[in-house]
Structure 1
Amino acid sequence: MRPLRYSINVTLDGCVHHEAGVAPDEELMRFWTAEMERADAVIYGRTTYEMMEGAWRRPASGVWPDWMSEWEIPFAEAIDRVPKHVVSSTLEAVDWNAELIRSDLSETVRQLKQQPGEGLSVGGVTLPLALTELGLIDEYIFVVHPLVAGHGPRLLDGLNGPLELVVVDRREFASGAVAVTYRPLR
């Protein structure tokens, strides 16, 4: 069975919003590229799908935008080519190598996990909370940044009860960020 991994940048006060000031540097972008490359597919909700598509989809011209640093291109290429599953009741259609999920979330994700491969990745805020509540996430990768944002959506905010985790890996970065990988105690 393929593991489902939830990975996200988080501030010291638990903020996970992309505007909280946790843009990755070159070293962190290599880390995120490796994470994307080890995913057979990603699962996003509508908001995350649209945000990632707006930032990382290869333009029709085939030329990456001028704002993108050379060291960001490998991540852009990795996310551009990975299959995407988009959970949404409001989108009519998706493209960008994506399929729309409208059916039972729990059953659909269980079926995706049963397929052969190395693993699935989920990102965002709302969808990972639902998947955590369903007990479907096998690994949590939090890149904790030395920053207090003071505002924004919080990591797994609204969880119905405690989530006990065990640390299985830890990596420090020159920026002071620390990637910690956890697995749930079951």
Structure 2
Amino acid sequence: MRPVTFGMNISLDGYCDHTFTIPTEELYDYFTGMMDDVDLVFFGRVMYQLMFPYWADVARDQSGTPGEIKFAERFTAIDKVVVSRSLESAPENVRIIRSNPAAELLKLKQQPGKKISVDSVSMLPELISAGLIDEFNLVIHPVIVGKGRPILPAGSLQEQLNLKLVETKNFSSGAVAHHYRKG
């Protein structure tokens, strides 16, 4: 089975929000490197609409720093699945599914290929509970925000999930990337 990985930027107090940090070239290089092992991204609608068309525009227009452009080109080239009941249409390398994300991800996991990257906080509890997330890549930023969307809402998991730390990487910004696998 192909591995499924979840990756997210989070604050020290566990919140996910793209507004609390300014990504550096070093972070773009890190995330671009992570995409080398990924051939499918599994999105919820909110995260998908946050990421696109923004990154598609950066790739097309070559607007941004060299790190942003490289990330945008790699990220937009990867096939995507978006879970949404309301999204009407999507570009050619994006497939929309309407329901049952865990069952769909299980089917995709059983197909040959590279890693699947899950980019959805809203589906995370369901996908963890279904045993579908194999790896976690969390980039923790040196900021306490005290509000926003938590990576996992209190009480959202039925059982504790034990992880094994595989690697850490320190960034000059003070952010630290932690790569974990299921224990």
TM beyond 0.5: yes
Match of 2:144 in 1: 148
1:106 CA displacement: 2.1
- Could you tell which deviates more after superposition, 171-180 or 97-106? 97-106
Match of 2:46 in 1: 47
Letter aligned with residue 113 of structure 1: K
**Superposition pairs of residues 29-178 of structure 1, within 5 angstroms:** 29-58=28-57, 62-65=60-63, 68-95=64-91, 97-158=93-154, 159-161=156-158, 162-178=160-176
The question of whether the paired residues in 1 share the 8 Å contact of 2:25 and 2:68 is answered with: yes
State the number of aligned residues.
Answer: 181
Counting strand residues as a fraction of each chain, which structure ranks higher? 2
Cα displacement string for residues 47-94 of structure 1 (whole angstroms, at most 9, x for unaligned residues): 11111103201379x3233xx222210000011110000011121222
The question of whether the paired residues in 1 share the 8 Å contact of 2:161 and 2:182 is answered with: yes
Distance 2:23 2:55 in 1: 14
Distance 1:16 1:23 in 2: 13
Distance 1:170 1:71 in 2: 21
Distance 2:56 2:83 in 1: 18
Aligned-pair identity in percent equals 38
Distance 2:13 2:108 in 1: 33
Query: Which residue among 178, 181, 184 is the counterpart of 2:182?
Result: 184
Cα displacement string for residues 111-167 of structure 1 (whole angstroms, at most 9, x for unaligned residues): 111111221001131022321122110001101111111211011224224222221
1:96 CA displacement: 5.3
RMSD (Å) for aligned C-alpha atoms: 1.7
Match of 2:17 in 1: 17
TM normalised by structure 2 equals 0.91
SS in 2 for 1:93: coil
Distance 1:18 1:24 in 2: 9
Distance 1:4 1:98 in 2: 18
Q: Structure 2: any 5+ residue segments left out of the alignment?
A: none
TM normalised by structure 1 equals 0.90
The question of whether the paired residues in 1 share the 8 Å contact of 2:5 and 2:137 is answered with: yes
